[in-house]
Amino acid sequence: MITFSHVYKTYRGANFRECHALRDVSLEVEKGEFIFLTGPSGAGKTTLFRLLSAFDRPSSGAASVLGYDIGKLTASELPAFRRRIGVVFQDFKLLRDRTIFENVALPLQVLGESSAGIERRVHECLDQVGLANRRDDLPELLSGGEQQRVAIARAIVHRPGLLIADEPTGNLDAAMAQEIMALFERANAQGTTLFIATHDHGLVQQSGKRVVNIRAGSITRGAKTESEDQWLRV
């Protein structure tokens, strides 16, 4: 599902000094896994997710996601790749001039779903995140936590094979965070592979799931799927 082999992402900082946001990252994820990505601010979590979702390319090394080589993905392959993933961005990236309903409907429209099918599925997802009554509002009328829940609904609406979520419970209170985790569990039970970056150690600890930890651009634990890595899990 995901294979990274010696991946670097390098930026040029002040005085043209090279700075490795990711440093020799090797990582394996199998279909159906549910993984937490942890690590302090600035560790490289968002950078890793930008590569996983092909919003960025590796500076060196090989990154394969859903059978696509991220380094070689062409503009014409990109839409087919994106249709198979769902992404919750740290800053939501909702379309300001579209209603909540229209934002969540977007992935289904791209897939060419019927309007009756879209109506049914969008309603179901908005209901699951507790926002069915806000469907006709514009994003700016919603709180940060509500916008985050819209972003989550939009990421799961097309039942993607891979869901990547960058701190998706960061703006939610504990009760809502639990509900969102239950929603992710349901998506996982229905076959979606999940990769979730979080600062919420309580959430990670109680889940018993595989944890990938990243620190200063390097993976410090959980790089492999196998049971050989079991002892590294929480």
Residues that bind Mg ion (CB under 5 A): 45-46
Q: Which residues bind ligand ADP (CB under 6 A)?
A: 11, 21, 39, 41-47
DSSP letter string over 172-203? S-HHHHHHHHHHHHHHHHTT-EEEEE---HHH
CA angle at 169 for the pair 194 and 151, rounded to the nearest 5°: 75
From the list Mg ion, ligand ADP, none, pick the one residue 47 interacts with, judged by a Cβ distance below 5 to 8 Å according to partner type: ligand ADP
CB closer to Mg ion out of 113 and 167? 167
- State the nearest-atom distance from the C-beta of 131 to Mg ion, in Å: 24
CB closer to ligand ADP out of 161 and 170? 170
8 Å CB contact between 51 and 7? yes
* Cα–Cα distance, 163 to 196 (Å, whole number): 8
CA angle at 75 for the pair 73 and 77, rounded to the nearest 5°: 60
CB closer to ligand ADP out of 21 and 196? 21
Query: 26: Cβ–Cβ under 8 A, 6 or more apart, which residues?
Result: 4, 5, 6, 7, 219, 223
From the list Mg ion, ligand ADP, none, pick the one residue 190 interacts with, judged by a Cβ distance below 5 to 8 Å according to partner type: none
From the list ligand ADP, Mg ion, none, pick the one residue 187 interacts with, judged by a Cβ distance below 5 to 8 Å according to partner type: none
- State the nearest-atom distance from the C-beta of 66 to ligand ADP, in Å: 22
- State the nearest-atom distance from the C-beta of 234 to ligand ADP, in Å: 19
From the list Mg ion, ligand ADP, none, pick the one residue 11 interacts with, judged by a Cβ distance below 5 to 8 Å according to partner type: ligand ADP
* Cα–Cα distance, 215 to 43 (Å, whole number): 5
From the list ligand ADP, Mg ion, none, pick the one residue 120 interacts with, judged by a Cβ distance below 5 to 8 Å according to partner type: none
- State the nearest-atom distance from the C-beta of 64 to ligand ADP, in Å: 20
CB closer to Mg ion out of 63 and 214? 214
* Cα–Cα distance, 228 to 16 (Å, whole number): 41
* Cα–Cα distance, 108 to 125 (Å, whole number): 12
- For tokens 């309580």, the residue is 202
CB closer to Mg ion out of 38 and 193? 38
- State the nearest-atom distance from the C-beta of 40 to ligand ADP, in Å: 7
Residue with the shortest CB distance to Mg ion: 46
The single-letter DSSP state of residue 59 is S
- State the nearest-atom distance from the C-beta of 32 to ligand ADP, in Å: 25
